[in-house]
Amino acid sequence: MTVPAALSPTDDAASAPRRSVVVTTLGVTQILAWGSSYYQPAVLAKPVAADTGWPLPWVVGGLSLGLLVAGLVSPRVGRAVERTGGRPVLALSSALLAAGLAGMGLAPDLPAYLAAWAVVGLGMGAGLYDAAFATLGRLYGREARGAITDLILFGGFASTVCWPLSAFLVDVLGWRGACLAYAGLQLAVALPAHLALLPREPPLVATTTPPGSTAAPIVAGRAPSRRRVVLLLLASALTLGAAIQGVVSVHLLTVLQARGADLAAAVALGALIGPSQVGARLVEKLLGGRHHPVWTMLASVVLAALGLGLLTAGFPVLAACLVAYGAGVGIGSIARGTLPLALFGPIGYAALMGRLAMPMLLAGALAPSAGALLLERAGPPGALAALAGAALVNVVLVASLFVLVRAGAGVRTSS
């Protein structure tokens, strides 16, 4: 008996772009996509509110609306990548981001501004990590792990590149000009890059893998009940992780100030998370291929829980807490793309990524508001304890997944 193996392209793919070209293209376009959408309000929100008089919570809420829209469309995006490959979907995402950003820059009132964010949300759903991961899985099958890791390394520089760029554009052009400039970059850089440098994927052909091969997906061909349990644990862990990150990313400075840091110190400490993410991803890249991605996922949630737990317990070296948390978040984004591929295989991977993205994006959209309510009701110490507790629950979820995967038909958890 054989199990489905990596999907391999027909001979028509001989002239396809090299993998390095594909990954670099997606890396650059991911930086632009994240920078002009998810990371944009960090710089533009206050200038928008100051210039228009629109309430700041509503201005920032545009991002939450965009994430909600992205979550709702992500299953359809995954199925589209499964059918057609990533090239047309990612090209469409660039066009949608450009249209939404242009609408934002020209918005005469708050409803038009929010409507523009809804269009940006469509572009986010079709063009951020999950669509890019699906594209790489569709192209390279089980060999996509290294490409996904490389892409995450690129993505780690989105805020590093685009926050200063956004500040420069606002200073020179104003917030409306900055939005229009980002729209232009989507049309002039990202859209043609997707069309010209990503391969026209031919139909994929299923091959076979000898039974018991360590290259075989762990739960492919297993009982439906086992698959459902594995999928439920994976989706729950990813969604809870997204919710925790959504709260921390917005309310970290408040929590740090409650721990006794002044604003300047809190900003400096918060800045440690980015380098910690990139450093952990580099370590994962060096170790990539030597262990199963379930180890990466387990290390991710343990590090995140350790960082938040130490912060809750009053550990005096705040920097150590944030480095541990940032490292966990950094490699967690790698596990998000590589673990589903390892567990379920490349057949249907793109559609699966769309299904997994939906609850994650919805959780990310709702988490900042939920965090604000938690801070109001429980105060910073109570909110921090709740975050640490949620992180510990995530450790239990992933540990359960690890045990189930390890026991799965005797398949080893090493590559």
What is the C-alpha separation between 405 and 397, in angstroms, rounded?
12
Interval 361-374: pLDDT, tens: 999 889 888 888 88
Helix (H, G, I), strand (E, B) or coil at 15: helix
- Say what the pLDDT of residue 118 is: 97
Per-residue pLDDT at 210? 41
Domain with CATH 1.20.1250.20 in the chain: 17-199, 217-410
pLDDT value at residue 74 = 94
For 166-203, the pLDDT digits (tens) are: 889 999 999 999 999 999 999 999 999 999 999 886 55
- Of the pLDDT bands very low, low, confident and very high (cuts 50, 70, 90), residue 222 is low
CB-based burial of residue 286 (10 Å sphere; 0-12 exposed, 13-18 middle, 19+ buried)? exposed
Q: Does the pLDDT of residue 317 top 90, yes or no?
A: no
pLDDT digits (tens, 9 = 90+) for 256-295: 888 888 878 887 887 788 888 888 888 888 886 678 899 9
Q: If pLDDT is split at 50, 70 and 90, which confidence band does 121 have?
A: very high
Average pLDDT, the chain: 85
Query: Among residues of the chain, what percentage have pLDDT more than 70?
Result: 88
Mean per-residue pLDDT, 22-38: 93
pTM: 0.83
Q: Tell me which DSSP letter residue 198 carries.
A: S
- Tell the CATH topology of 17-199: Growth Hormone; Chain: A; (1.20.1250)
Q: Which CATH architecture has domain 217-410?
A: Up-down Bundle (1.20)
**Number of helices and strands (H, E) in the chain?**
15, 2
CB-CB contact of 126 with 96 (8 Å) = yes
Positive/negative CA dihedral, 271, 160, 86, 3:
negative
The pLDDT-based confidence of 7 (bands split at 50, 70, 90) is very low
Q: Label each residue of 324-367 as H, E or C.
A: HHHHHHHHHHHHHHHHHHHHHCCCCHHHHHHHHHHHHHHHHHHH
- Residue 212's pLDDT band, with cuts at 50, 70 and 90, is very low
Least confident of 43-52, 203-212, 304-313, 374-383: 203-212
Asked if the model's pLDDT at residue 217 lies above 70, the reply is no
15: pLDDT strictly greater than 70: no
Higher pLDDT, 138 or 15: 138
pLDDT of residue 218: 54
Rounded distance between C-alpha atoms, residue 301 and residue 238, angstroms = 10
- The pLDDT tens digits for 122-133 are 999 999 989 999
Quote the percentage of the chain above a pLDDT of 90. Answer: 50
Q: What is the structure's pLDDT at 162? A: 85
Q: Are 39 and 162 in contact (CB under 8 A)?
A: yes
